Chains A and B, each alone.
Chain A
């Protein structure tokens, strides 16, 4: 998929920060989200969710609810006869509603369709469910105990998009393992001059897309239509078709604007229950989660890890060994992929003599866990980078210098058989170090930290696009990418405009509708500009070639397009259509990915209040190593958004579970960053080396900053004298650690 820039870029299209094409609609409150859609005869659905984390359902009585005026129907497992009611793109383990047993607090047990939402909510109270409580597997440790109850008996069945080779049978509560072993790990540690090791914890985190999961479902005969807040409409379409036994072509998924996603709307979520309810009701139904419901629909994996890293006296990193366990909750969701991506991220982008990674994905009786921006890298980068810094300290080497000595360089192999490094990491880390004043004197009570990592990005490179040039010289781009805030519609308009030599405002990009927009695998993994953008470029190039043929000249400009239409079609009409496709090239093996390595490079300066444990972030710097910035302003905004989420993951965000029950299920006690958390100095540095596989040498961005900033805050806090092993770095945790350090006599450092 290499792409060469042949012609100079044109003013007003690629490389220019044109205004967002959706700004006016969004600023004026006219942009439609799934919850704003009203379909004729639409009902409102509410979901009855289990209070118990683990219980047998002994009886359900819905008769009182069904008799209520305004209630149209109540859905329970009894309505699922005749279909195979289990879904899940990776592992087909999740029932549409609980069947005989609930496996997490919040699991759907029944659903009501009623004329209005208040009636549906009132009807939930009239459904009588009898439970017999079972022993709760609340944590990874409990799940791995030899006599632990089994959360899912199996056998595990692969979903449509497992994507990780053959599914191994479950071992107890472990549903997936990822293993890498390179070099002689034991020998390397036996000969190391310095070894650092430790145990670490990363909490479950809520993505908090401000728009909660929302679906309108309509079933007419064997035609299913969804208006859904989903990031991957084509994957949802396939799963719904398989689940309800209709042809893929009979399922239509329309995605209006998405109110944020960050992975929480990847793959299938509330669509199966909405379709099942609409099917029973015989009328369209809207289900809109409340925040407490979205929190238990999907979340980021909590993780436990053990890591050790070895260094020699010359400052060479020798080896690293990692064991990590990912709490995927009661159903796998994207757990296997998260576990594999974490495994790839665990060694970090260093030149090792040997490394070993053992990663496991573990079922527990908590909410299912899936994707969240920069998954895997965020989980492990902070740990690996803390160990690199500690080794540097013991060996008396500057943290920047140890990274210069050991980071891989462009073209070097990172993982056996995978794509070699396609970024200048040493250049990147030097830039962020300079931005936060690395090497200059630090004020008392402050610390500075660096972090560098990589994230396998791009997902599976399958995307298509269609470009239609109209007789007046305006153009429409049809592409199945969803507009989740990243600015995909703006960037695609710029790419098509560049190729068609049109001003960007002459190009329109509408939303995803699987009936009309061609296939795009997914919107996530920082892939839209790189993969779907390349499909758009190829489609527009095809139209441009037709124009050149018709004109008989390479120099034809857009003011003559209407004339060319008349010449070619014999009227001021007709249409020129171009089609672009991206598919895996070379041998085509997914295992040989990624499409590109997304860099996760950051730096931070923090101040610690010794008396309260409060960490204040004074400066952050990140690198958007994007190959080529199609719209530099949107690139910066992506990194700034990732930075603030990184601060949230580092300092505040944690879903607090006790015995399988979520204790902080509102935004009052689940704290996300606000305006007041904006660092005094925040630098987002764009690096353009035209080394990406996308259009004009572009590669994706937007995720790396989250992993990078989380890790840089952790390394900066350690630099200030407080090495931590559990996130988030709440005042209480930091204060307790300072007390421990005082007792050990190692505070202040």
Chain B
């Protein structure tokens, strides 16, 4: 079947399989490998991308359901002016180690910052509980995100 959508601000048209997952579409057809595969059951968050500015787990989201919609991956976010703040905060707080969860984490954070729903450290913890990180122990990420959201860690 034919799929038409926006990816990182550019129009994309491709032939796809009806059962194709958005994660495979992005990684295999478009070469956007910033979105990662891990749990396959929407528990870990490493495959997170934004669809119409809301985070989705692309491992459990049909590519066909992105028809006509706007998909943002880490490669697109990294080109946006607001990314500089995120990059600076995550770097200064050493809020990453192996980096496998990092793209998904940043996309979730970017969406939450945009809606302004992070009003306390508790909000940050609750809102990011669907993005697992096995390396950092979360504190560096918490510090970085609280700073970005203007709340006390």
Complex contacts, B78 vs chain A, CB 8 Å: 27-29
Cross-interface CB contact of B138 among A24, A25, A675, cutoff 8 Å: A675
B44 at the interface (CB under 8 A from A): yes
Complex contacts, A26 vs chain B, CB 8 Å: 96, 99, 102
Q: Are B125 and A675 in contact (CB under 8 A)?
A: yes
Complex contacts, B44 vs chain A, CB 8 Å: 210, 667
Binds B, one of A62-70, A92-100, A257-265, A529-537: A257-265
Cross-interface CB contact of A676 among B17, B87, B129, B134, cutoff 8 Å: B129
| Contact flag A23-B137 (CB < 8 Å), given A259-B36, A676-B126 | no
Provide the bound-state CA to CA distance between A35 and B99, in Å: 14
Binds B, one of A136-144, A329-337, A632-640, A710-718: A632-640
Using CB atoms, name the residue of chain B closest to A642.
B137
A364 at the interface (CB under 8 A from B): no
Complex contacts, B101 vs chain A, CB 8 Å: 210
Provide the bound-state CA to CA distance between A211 and B47, in Å: 12
Complex contacts, A58 vs chain B, CB 8 Å: none
Q: Are B98 and A28 in contact (CB under 8 A)?
A: no
Q: Are A640 and B137 in contact (CB under 8 A)?
A: yes
A30 at the interface (CB under 8 A from B): yes
Cross-interface CB contact of A486 among B33, B97, B126, cutoff 8 Å: B97
Using CB atoms, name the residue of chain B closest to A26.
B99
Provide the bound-state CA to CA distance between A24 and B96, in Å: 11
Q: Are A210 and B124 in contact (CB under 8 A)?
A: no
- Among B68-85, those with CB < 8 Å from A are 73-75, 78
Provide the bound-state CA to CA distance between A35 and B35, in Å: 11
Minimum CB–CB distance from A373 to chain B (whole Å) comes to: 10
Complex contacts, A212 vs chain B, CB 8 Å: 37-38
Provide the bound-state CA to CA distance between A262 and B40, in Å: 21
Q: Are B100 and A641 in contact (CB under 8 A)?
A: no
Provide the bound-state CA to CA distance between A262 and B135, in Å: 9
Complex contacts, B103 vs chain A, CB 8 Å: 27, 29
Using CB atoms, name the residue of chain A closest to B103.
A29
Cross-interface CB contact of B75 among A29, A210, A643, A674, cutoff 8 Å: A29
Provide the bound-state CA to CA distance between A211 and B103, in Å: 13
A19 at the interface (CB under 8 A from B): yes
Minimum CB–CB distance from B14 to chain A (whole Å) comes to: 15
B1 at the interface (CB under 8 A from A): no
| Contact flag A675-B40 (CB < 8 Å), given A31-B99, A211-B100, A645-B134 | no
Using CB atoms, name the residue of chain A closest to B122.
A676
Q: Interface extent on A, as a size class? A: 35 or more
Cross-interface CB contact of B98 among A118, A258, A678, cutoff 8 Å: A258
Provide the bound-state CA to CA distance between A31 and B100, in Å: 9
Q: Are B94 and A634 in contact (CB under 8 A)?
A: yes
A487 at the interface (CB under 8 A from B): yes
B55 at the interface (CB under 8 A from A): no
| Contact flag A637-B132 (CB < 8 Å), given A19-B92, A23-B96 | no
Q: Are B97 and A667 in contact (CB under 8 A)?
A: no
Cross-interface CB contact of B73 among A29, A211, A639, A672, cutoff 8 Å: A29
Complex contacts, A35 vs chain B, CB 8 Å: 33, 36-37
Q: Are A28 and B137 in contact (CB under 8 A)?
A: no
Q: Are B128 and A291 in contact (CB under 8 A)?
A: no
Minimum CB–CB distance from B104 to chain A (whole Å) comes to: 10
Q: Are B92 and A208 in contact (CB under 8 A)?
A: no
Complex contacts, B125 vs chain A, CB 8 Å: 675-676, 678
Provide the bound-state CA to CA distance between A672 and B137, in Å: 11
Q: Are A22 and B135 in contact (CB under 8 A)?
A: no
Cross-interface CB contact of A682 among B17, B39, B137, cutoff 8 Å: B137
Minimum CB–CB distance from A145 to chain B (whole Å) comes to: 37
A743 at the interface (CB under 8 A from B): no
Using CB atoms, name the residue of chain B closest to A35.
B37
Provide the bound-state CA to CA distance between A259 and B134, in Å: 10
B136 at the interface (CB under 8 A from A): yes
A20 at the interface (CB under 8 A from B): yes
Q: Are B134 and A260 in contact (CB under 8 A)?
A: yes
- Among A91-138, those with CB < 8 Å from B are 118
Q: Are B134 and A27 in contact (CB under 8 A)?
A: no
Q: Are A487 and B99 in contact (CB under 8 A)?
A: no
Complex contacts, A210 vs chain B, CB 8 Å: 36, 38, 44, 46, 98, 100-101, 132-134
Using CB atoms, name the residue of chain B closest to A646.
B137
Minimum CB–CB distance from B118 to chain A (whole Å) comes to: 12
Minimum CB–CB distance from A630 to chain B (whole Å) comes to: 14
Q: Are B102 and A27 in contact (CB under 8 A)?
A: yes
| Contact flag A487-B97 (CB < 8 Å), given A27-B91, A29-B73, A291-B38 | yes
Complex contacts, B90 vs chain A, CB 8 Å: 23, 27
| Contact flag A29-B40 (CB < 8 Å), given A486-B97, A672-B132 | no
| Contact flag A675-B134 (CB < 8 Å), given A259-B99, A485-B98, A666-B39 | no
Using CB atoms, name the residue of chain B closest to A484.
B98
Minimum CB–CB distance from B43 to chain A (whole Å) comes to: 4
Q: Are B36 and A682 in contact (CB under 8 A)?
A: no
Using CB atoms, name the residue of chain A closest to B73.
A29
Q: Are A641 and B43 in contact (CB under 8 A)?
A: no
Using CB atoms, name the residue of chain A closest to B93.
A633
A554 at the interface (CB under 8 A from B): no
- Among B118-153, those with CB < 8 Å from A are 124-126, 128-142
B3 at the interface (CB under 8 A from A): no
Q: A191-216 vs B: 1/0 string, CB under 8 Å?
A: 00000000000000000111110000
Provide the bound-state CA to CA distance between A25 and B33, in Å: 12
Q: Are B97 and A641 in contact (CB under 8 A)?
A: yes
Interface centre among B73, B87, B137 (most CB of A within 10 A): B137
Interface centre among A487, A640, A682 (most CB of B within 10 A): A640
Q: Other than the known A20-B91, A28-B78, A31-B99, what 4 A-B pairs have Cβ atoms closer than 8 Å?
A: A29-B32, A210-B100, A260-B97, A642-B137
10 contacts between A and B (CB under 8 A): A27-B90, A29-B35, A29-B75, A212-B38, A290-B40, A640-B136, A672-B132, A675-B124, A676-B126, A678-B142
Closest 6 CB pairs of A and B: A29-B34, A26-B99, A485-B98, A640-B137, A259-B100, A485-B97
